[in-house]
């Protein structure tokens, strides 16, 4: 077995430039697969991290009536979590309201957050230290779409728990920069205490954000959704992009494999005498097939070496400096950092390696299995095919 690999290696190395050209064709697929998946994995990792840092924490403990996907659940989806269960949790109360920036009317989701929290990156400490009457925070995209700047006053109108309208002049005391659209667009952050007073929902919350130390336990009327479950839609969306684009590099892979198939199919035609000679010298047809298959498989290894040679500097650059994307995640509804740093996991590299080697081996076997039906005498004459 080792012998056929040695012979195959020798055959390829001696074939020189032709071998490297074939390997080059396949190496494009290799590099593109690693490049693309590395980018998506990097994106996925950043998106997950952003989502955790800005919103999900280590899970959400939701009031049973509250469903973030259903705006109608806001009215009743809140309650008082018994004091003994509040350890390692940051409360958030969600309410609906309307702001009137420059006389325009904009419905907003008001989120009241505990100002002393350190679980998520919402800069709630600004709310604590502000001397304004009704200090509020906005994400940058929200601030832009409302045309509001730091220090601007804005009229905020809402109904309290009994349905009575009320209004105050709020002040934008901070604008934060985030990649997470679902803490930014259409949202207005304020102190939990203030929102509880405004609505009359004393001590109530819609959900709690868990920190790392939180230990979930069953609580009547509340449901704990762990971090992984919360992240699933984020990951699913990104993975959908991954599979969608697979077609691109699978096409490139197919071209590379076709080159190998062609080379090997032609090789057994051209090298019939050589095949006959090997058989005359005492190789079985099986061994000759294995030798030719090994040659084909080795193209993939050469392709990986070659791709590694020119790909590695690119990969290192992309991992260190990232790629900038002009599109904002907001318009796409997904978390996307302005710069994505590619991540190349061992799993990605091993998987790609195996994909290439296995597919090249199969293709090469397909091209060379004809040897099995060759008559050695005819092969020696060069007339077996």
Which one of 285, 351, 369, 370 is in contact with other proteins (CB under 8 A)?
A: 285
Handedness of CA 351, 357, 362, 363 (dihedral sign): positive
Q: Is the distance from CB of 307 to CB of 31 less than 8 angstroms?
A: yes
The tokens describing 273, both together, are: 């005498």
Give the N- to C-terminal CA distance of the chain in Å, as an integer. 26
SS3 at position 70: coil
The Cα 106–Cα 186 span in angstroms is 8
* Candidates 1-9, 41-49, 88-96, 209-217; binding stretch for other proteins (CB under 8 A): 1-9
13/251 with CB nearer other proteins: 13
If one counts every other C-beta atom within 10 angstroms of the C-beta of residue 311, the result is 20
Mark the segment that binds other proteins (CB under 8 A) among 141-149, 161-169, 243-251, 284-292: 284-292
Nearest to 337 by CA among 37, 50, 39: 50
239 is a contact residue toward other proteins (CB under 8 A)? no
Q: Give 303 or 380: the residue with its C-beta nearer to other proteins.
A: 380
Residue from the set 45, 274, 319, 385 that interacts with other proteins by CB under 8 A? 274
Q: Residue 25 CB, nearest distance to other proteins (Å)?
A: 21
**Part of the chain binding other proteins (CB under 8 A), chosen from 68-76, 99-107, 282-290, 339-347:** 282-290
Query: Cβ of residue 288: shortest distance to other proteins, in angstroms?
Result: 10
Q: Is 282 in the site for other proteins (CB under 8 A)?
A: yes
Residue 225 parent element (H or E):
strand 222-226
Q: Which two tokens stand for residue 98?
A: 């309307």
How does DSSP classify residue 81?
Answer: P
Is there binding between residue 1 and other proteins (CB under 8 A)? no
* CB-based contacts of 54, cutoff 8 Å, min separation 6: 120, 121, 122, 178, 179, 180, 183
User: Which of residues 247 and 281 has its CB atom nearest to other proteins in the complex?
Assistant: 281
Options 276, 296, 311, 329; binder of other proteins; rule CB under 8 A: 276
Token pair recorded at residue 226: 């762990």
Scanning residues 3 to 32, which ones bind other proteins (CB under 8 A)? 3, 6-7, 10-11, 14-15
* Min CB(14)–other proteins separation in Å: 4
Classify 183 as helix, strand or coil: helix
277 binds other proteins (CB under 8 A): yes
> By CB under 8 A, is residue 248 in contact with other proteins?
no
Looking at 68-76, 102-110, 168-176, 372-380, which segment touches other proteins (CB under 8 A)?
A: 372-380
268 within 8 A of 378, measured Cβ to Cβ:
no
Q: What residues line the site for other proteins (CB under 8 A)? A: 3, 6-7, 10-11, 14-15, 273-274, 276-277, 279-285, 287, 376-377, 380
């Amino acid at each position: 077995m080792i012998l056929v690999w040695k012979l195959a290696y020798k055959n390829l190395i001696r074939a020189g430039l032709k071998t490297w050209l074939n390997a080059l064709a396949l190496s494009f697929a290799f590099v593109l697969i690693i490049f693309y998946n590395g980018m998506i994995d990097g994106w996925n990792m950043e998106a997950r991290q952003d989502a955790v840092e800005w919103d999900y924490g280590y899970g959400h403990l939701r009031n049973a009536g509250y469903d973030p996907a259903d705006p109608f659940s806001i009215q009743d989806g809140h309650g008082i979590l018994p004091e003994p269960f509040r350890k390692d949790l940051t409360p958030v109360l969600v309410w609906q309201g309307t702001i009137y920036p420059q006389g325009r009317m904009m419905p907003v989701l008001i989120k009241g957050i505990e100002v002393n929290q350190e679980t998520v990156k919402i800069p709630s400490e600004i709310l604590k230290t502000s001397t304004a009457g009704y200090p509020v925070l906005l994400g940058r995209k929200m601030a832009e779409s409302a045309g509001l700047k730091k220090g601007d006053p804005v009229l905020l109108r809402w109904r309290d728990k009994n349905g009575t309208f009320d209004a105050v002049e709020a002040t934008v005391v901070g604008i934060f920069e985030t990649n997470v659209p679902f803490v930014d667009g259409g949202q207005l952050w304020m102190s939990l205490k203030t929102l509880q007073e405004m609505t009359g929902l004393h001590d109530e919350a819609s959900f709690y954000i868990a920190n790392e130390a939180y230990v979930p336990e069953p609580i009547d009327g509340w449901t704990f959704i762990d971090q992984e479950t919360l992240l699933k839609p984020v990951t699913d969306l990104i993975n959908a992009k991954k599979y969608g684009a697979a077609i691109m590099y699978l096409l490139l892979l197919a071209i590379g494999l076709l080159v190998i198939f062609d080379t090997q199919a032609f090789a057994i035609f051209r090298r019939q005498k050589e095949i006959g000679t090997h058989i005359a010298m005492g190789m079985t047809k099986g061994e000759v097939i294995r030798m030719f298959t090994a040659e084909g498989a080795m193209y993939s290894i050469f392709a990986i070496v070659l791709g590694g040679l020119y790909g590695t500097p690119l990969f290192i650059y992309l991992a260190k400096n990232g790629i900038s994307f002009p599109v904002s995640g907001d318009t796409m509804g997904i978390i996307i950092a302005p710069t994505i740093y590619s991540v190349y996991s061992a799993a990605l590299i091993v998987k790609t390696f195996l994909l290439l080697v296995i597919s090249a081996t199969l293709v090469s076997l397909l091209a060379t299995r004809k040897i099995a039906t060759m008559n050695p005498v005819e092969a020696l004459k060069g007339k077996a095919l």
